[in-house]
Structure formats: C-alpha cells, structure tokens
Amino acid sequence: MQNYLEHALEEALHEERDLYQTYNLQEETERIAYHYEIDPEFFRIVTGGNWNNYSCSMWEKGFSLTQAQEKKLDHFARLMQLKPGMHILDVGCGWGGPLVYLCQKYGVTGHGITISPMAIPIAQARAQQYGVKATFEVIHWQNLRLAQQYDAIYSDEVIVHFNDLAGFFKKANQLLKPQGIMVNKELHFRHSLHKHALDKLSQHINKVYAYTGNYRTLQDELLLLDDGHFHLQEIVDIPIEDYRKTIGEYWVKHLNDNKEQLIAMTSPKHVRDFKLYLRGICHIFAADVFGLHIVAAKKA
C-alpha cells in the first residue's frame, strides 16, 4: 500500500474522522486491498466452513458452520427466485464459495466480481472442483458492461464499502433483465446518530477496513433503492445474535486455534489488530447499535 494511505490511516486515529469519506476509484481499490489483499489462506482459516463466507451465517439449533452458511445462501436463492438456467451476478464475491454453492445447488450459472485479485484463483479453482459454470473477474462494479444482462444480482456485506450506493443501485437496475431481482444483505445502524460514533473502538474497526465502512440506516438504503427505481419485495430481519455467534464462536476461535500460522502469513500486529476488530464488533453488537437485514427488490 502507498505510504500516503498508511500515513492517513494513522492520522485518522488521532482526529475526529466521520464515515462517508470520498475517494476516487484508484484510492478505493487501494483501501480495499489494505484489508483483503493478504494470503487467501488467512481468510480461509478464519472464516471456515465449506463456503468460507466472510459474512454472517444463519443459525438453527445443532447446525454446523457449513449448514449455517448454506441456510443463509438458501435465503438468497429464495429471494432471487432462482430457477435452473438463470444467470446471476455476485457483487463482491469473496473467494467464490457463495456463488459456487448457489450454482451447484440451484442449477444456475453465475459471474462473480471483486476488486481483490488474490481471491480470483481460489474462486476459479472452487468452480472447477464443483464443475459449475461460474466465472470470476477483477472489476469495479462501476466498470461492468451493460451488454451482459442478469436475471438476478446479489451482494452479501459488500455495499457498506460503496460510498456511491445510489450509483450502484442505478447500475444494478441497468444490468438486470425486466422483473429481475436484486438482493443485498448488510448491517444497518439502528439510528443515524451512530454515524457519528468516534470512540476509539469504532475508529479501530474503521481503520482495519481503511475507512471504507460506509454504514447506513436501513431507511437510507430503502430511499436509495426507491431512487434507483426498485420495487421493494421483502426484508428479512436476521437476529444480531447470529452474527455474534458466527464471529464469537467461530472466527475468533479459528483465529486463536491457528494463531502462529496466521502470524507467519501476516504479522503479529496484523493478527492482534484483526482479533481486536472481531471482538470489538461483538462488543458493539451487544450494545444494540446494528440491525442486520436482507433486502430484496425488483426492477420495475
């Protein structure tokens, strides 16, 4: 990462820094790289399960992590009304697990995009392993070609990184076939006052994400969807306890159990900062700051 960005991040800890910073596409890519462009094995170990979702899973009594990951993805499939032969877009596809699962279970084909190049070979290998038609590409959503149209589009804990969410919804609308459905899952502040939380813990979490955490209220997101000419279909309210369990009982445990290996891939500071961020988020969840929702909307 460029020195100026490292310097800016250090400074941010010592000054009042609001969410919603603006930056150009190149700087956005560098900021996202700060969090995601490390050995993919790091995220494979921390996230765990068969599909390595770097996002909340949905729990039922007695579930394994893989079952909880699949239950969440089955919700996405239901909301997108997936049928064999449909072609879908995963915006912010991580390491390919979610899209490969949906393709193999529901008989769809898919395209996954990310701005984190190190994830691509992992995602492609996974598609090959399961024999599904899923392609992956390093591209910012702003640069997607309109010639390719999709039956459905989804994103799972990705839109928080977009400071131009209105622009994203407009682009998604153009990329969808008529009556196409878009599904987004994201954390939402329960009140807009939280947008101005400048305590040290919030600052640490923002820094780990290089200040790309543009958290919003659900109300903000719904207004932007409406502006983007989407018709609201359904909102699924996921208990925040599901996220606390995903992080507290799995990601933190994976990190502790594999600490030396993870340090060897990164650094002691990286692992320490990562653990503080995971535990910090659980702490913030306990304070009832966030709700977690899946929002499904249809192109008019």
Ligand X SMILES: C[S@@+](CC[C@H](N)C(=O)[O-])C[C@H]1O[C@@H](n2cnc3c(N)ncnc32)[C@H](O)[C@@H]1O
- Binding mask 114-153 toward ligand X (x if CB under 6 A, else -) reads xxx--x--------------------xx------------
Q: Minimal CA–CA distance to 297: which of 79, 107, 141?
A: 79
In terms of CB distance, is 117 or 268 closer to ligand X?
117
Closest CA to 31 of 23, 39, 43, 41: 23
Using the minimum distance from each CB to ligand X, give the nearer residue, 140 or 191.
140
Query: Would you say 85 or 244 has its CB closer to ligand X?
Result: 244
| Residue 171 sits in the site that holds ligand X (CB under 6 A) | no
> How near is the Cβ of 62 to ligand X at its closest, in Å?
23
Closest CA to 33 of 115, 94, 96, 141: 115
Residue nearest to ligand X (CB): 92
Place of tokens 């709700």: 291
d(CA 55, CA 41): 16
Q: How far is the CB of 24 from ligand X (least distance, A)?
A: 12
Ranges within 44-83 binding ligand X (CB under 6 A): 53-55
CB of 16 to ligand X, least distance (A): 25
Using an 8 Å Cβ cutoff, are 195 and 189 in contact? yes
Distance CA 262, CA 257 (A): 10
Residues in region 195-214 near ligand X by CB under 6 A: none
> Which two structure tokens, joined as six digits, stand for 46?
């921390």
Total number of residues that touch ligand X (CB under 6 A): 20
Residue 56 or 222 having the CB closest to ligand X: 56
Binding segment (CB under 6 A) for ligand X, from list 86-94, 129-137, 196-204, 242-250: 86-94
Report CA-CA distances (Å) from 171 to 80, 142, 223: 18, 7, 16
- Nearest CA to 25 among 154, 137, 142, 178? 142
Q: Kindly compute the dihedral angle of the four CA atoms of residues 172, 38, 137, 155, in this order, to the nearest 10 degrees.
A: -20
In the set 113, 175, 281, 292, which binds ligand X (CB under 6 A)?
Answer: 113
Which lies closer to ligand X via its Cβ, residue 91 or residue 183? Answer: 91
Residues near ligand X, by CB under 6 A: 32, 36, 53-55, 91-92, 94, 98, 113-116, 119, 140-141, 156-158, 161
